[in-house]
């Protein structure tokens, strides 16, 4: 490391996060507090293994030739079916937006519970309303922009090469088309990973500085680009931790006949892991300087710092 930059550790904040988790949940143990913080984790999107819906579909269905007594399928469908499908689609879309909004607000609530070592829902919900709404709108805008860019990139390949149904390129994909699709996939993957990493640390920065999502995004992006090494190690170690969490949640779910996989129940059962992981993230970020110390913003006694460098970088602007 350079002399003007603090040394960033991975395993030390992970060990310190274990002590934070013990202090919050077991010193002393309070079942009511556990359930409230578990609800905060549930609101933040920490839902264990979640649910997967599988829709049966027969890929051999031919919409062009299917008919009923020689009547085209479009004419044989009841008149109410299309409005019903549209209504269901609109409902699902609204439900997704509501979930995104609740999760955005819930991430600040869960962070506040861990930082202040308290079981509170209403107070942080109100206190960080501005930051939570900003994070939701920013995430929604990024998701929509990413979809538009992806569709535009795909069309730039599909249209010129005639890969649409009935086009001249449907007989076989050339090497250029395969390369283009692979390139788009890699670009999409890199963008997704970068935004996932940045968004993980946006909430602590917004919590610490009470800033909006746009300012936090540029701040964290500059930090990641300036110090990519520690964040790469954080991502790799995080992948191992997530795999271990998924395995543990599957085992617990099987031992409890899938009861531990239910919404909120999974958040309560796996709460020590969720608190441990978020404390690890906060302690990892704390190493980059006092302007990233969420405990300083909360005006509470911080946990034992995994690294206390004498030279810290100035705030990013």
> Quick one: tokens of 96?
């997704």
Residue 72 is inside which H or E element, if any? strand 71-72
Question: Degrees (nearest 5) of the Cα angle 192, 194, 198?
Answer: 115
Taking only the tens of pLDDT, the chain with its 317 residues reads 455 677 899 999 999 999 999 999 999 999 999 999 999 999 998 765 433 334 344 444 444 444 445 555 556 667 788 888 999 999 999 999 999 999 999 999 999 999 999 999 999 999 999 999 999 999 999 888 888 887 877 777 666 655 555 555 544 556 666 777 788 788 888 888 888 899 999 999 999 999 999 999 999 999 999 999 999 999 999 999 989 988 988 898 888 888 888 889 999 999 999 999 999 999 999 999 999 999 987 666 666 555 444 333 444 43
Burial of 177 (0-12, 13-18, 19+ CB in 10 A): middle
Distances (CA, A) of 299 to 118, 139, 295: 14, 29, 6
Distance CA 305, CA 291 (A): 14
The pTM of the full predicted model, rounded to 2 decimals, is: 0.78
Residue ranges of domains in the chain: 25-49+75-298
The three-class DSSP label of residue 251 is helix
Distance CA 314, CA 8 (A): 16
């Amino acid at each position: 490391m350079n002399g003007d930059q603090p040394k960033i550790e991975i395993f030390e904040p992970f060990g310190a996060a274990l002590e934070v988790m013990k202090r919050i949940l077991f010193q002393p143990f309070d079942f009511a507090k556990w359930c409230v913080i578990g609800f905060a984790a549930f609101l933040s999107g920490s839902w264990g293994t979640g649910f997967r819906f599988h829709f049966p579909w027969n890929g051999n269905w031919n919409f062009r030739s299917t008919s009923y007594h020689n009547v085209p399928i479009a004419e044989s469908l009841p008149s109410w079916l299309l409005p019903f499908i549209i209504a269901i689609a609109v409902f699902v879309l609204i439900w997704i937006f509501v979930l995104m909004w609740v999760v955005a607000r819930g991430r600040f609530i869960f962070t506040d519970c861990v930082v202040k070592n308290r079981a509170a829902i209403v107070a942080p919900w109100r206190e960080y309303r501005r930051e939570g709404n900003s994070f939701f709108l920013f995430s929604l805008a990024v998701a929509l922009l990413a979809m538009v860019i992806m569709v535009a990139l795909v069309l730039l390949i599909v249209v010129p090469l005639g890969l649409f149904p009935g086009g001249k390129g449907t007989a076989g994909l050339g090497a250029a088309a395969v390369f283009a699709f692979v390139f788009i996939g890699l670009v999409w993957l890199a963008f997704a990973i970068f935004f996932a990493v940045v968004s993980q640390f946006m909430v602590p920065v917004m919590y610490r500085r009470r800033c909006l999502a746009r300012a936090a995004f540029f701040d964290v992006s500059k930090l990641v680009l300036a110090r990519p090494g520690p964040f790469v190690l954080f991502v790799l170690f995080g992948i191992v931790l997530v795999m271990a969490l998924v395995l543990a949640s599957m085992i617990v779910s099987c031992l409890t006949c899938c009861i531990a996989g239910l919404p909120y129940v999974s958040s309560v059962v796996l709460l020590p892991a969720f608190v441990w992981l978020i404390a690890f993230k906060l302690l990892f970020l704390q190493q980059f300087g006092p302007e990233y110390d969420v405990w300083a913003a909360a005006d509470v006694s911080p946990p034992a710092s995994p690294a206390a460098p004498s030279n810290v970088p100035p705030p990013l602007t």
